[in-house]
Structure 1
């Protein structure tokens, strides 16, 4: 009887170290790794993975969906975090409408992910809802509008 072999690997060839110490820095970094044409067209979910020193290990593209939703699979998020030996994560998704208000499903997935992360000793640092003009931070429970910050 043959059994499938499972391989687990992670490789970081990037020598640049990005330290994320707050939600604004996380937003600035993730926006550089987002296709701005899709930001207002299609909902996407990405996961930022960090080591103990809050150095960004990488960004995992979790899913792409439609205009009003996409899949967030907690098991996949946690398997990626474990594979990367990540100590903490930030979940990020966009609202194509530009509306930076969390939906009930957004709140529910954040609660479930936080609980699941705690079992594996991985910290959910934040969940950001982003648009071109700003972001909502679940950690701060507040909307940050980049247009206002520039005044």
Structure 2
């Protein structure tokens, strides 16, 4: 209960959520496969950094799997990138995303997922399930290709 004591100052920061998609629905790209997701991610990936530092990005999707946005989430070192689920899902909720695709790169050029990659994917899928957001795939990009956890049957079953 708030006190009505006039000697206490109750300054409160107002939080405002704004999302404006300037691309008409009919003109939005559709992600219906790992290749389509890879193509969208590649449009936004800095090819000068793909062999240098790990980055983590997400594609935000509407219920019909059309792209409503792409967001750069984190940039790390040559061997790791810490993607904070709170940031990812704040972006998802702000954009009213129904589904997402995750992606990060391996500067080593090895497209195989690590145990850490699989654990992180499971963590994201569990959190997404609670928010009614689907995690459709997690791609690992290299300069010469990608691995799709969905295509390889490595996405968690509770998704």
TM-score, L = length of structure 2: 0.86
- What is the aligned partner in structure 1 of residue 94 from structure 2? 83
Equivalent positions of 1:1-150 (< 5 A) are: 1-15=10-24, 16-141=27-152
Q: Secondary structure of 2:135's partner?
A: strand
- The 1-side partners of 2:149 and 2:93 are apart by 23
1:11, distance to aligned residue in structure 2 (A): 1.5
- The 1-side partners of 2:141 and 2:148 are apart by 9
Q: After the TM superposition, which segments of 4 or more aligned residues of structure 1 sit over 4 Å from their partners?
A: none
- The 1-side partners of 2:95 and 2:76 are apart by 25
CA RMSD of aligned residues (A): 1.0
Q: Deviations over 1:57-86 (max 9, x none)?
A: 010100111100111111111111011000
Q: Which runs of 5+ in 2 are unaligned?
A: 1-9, 154-159
Aligned residues: 142
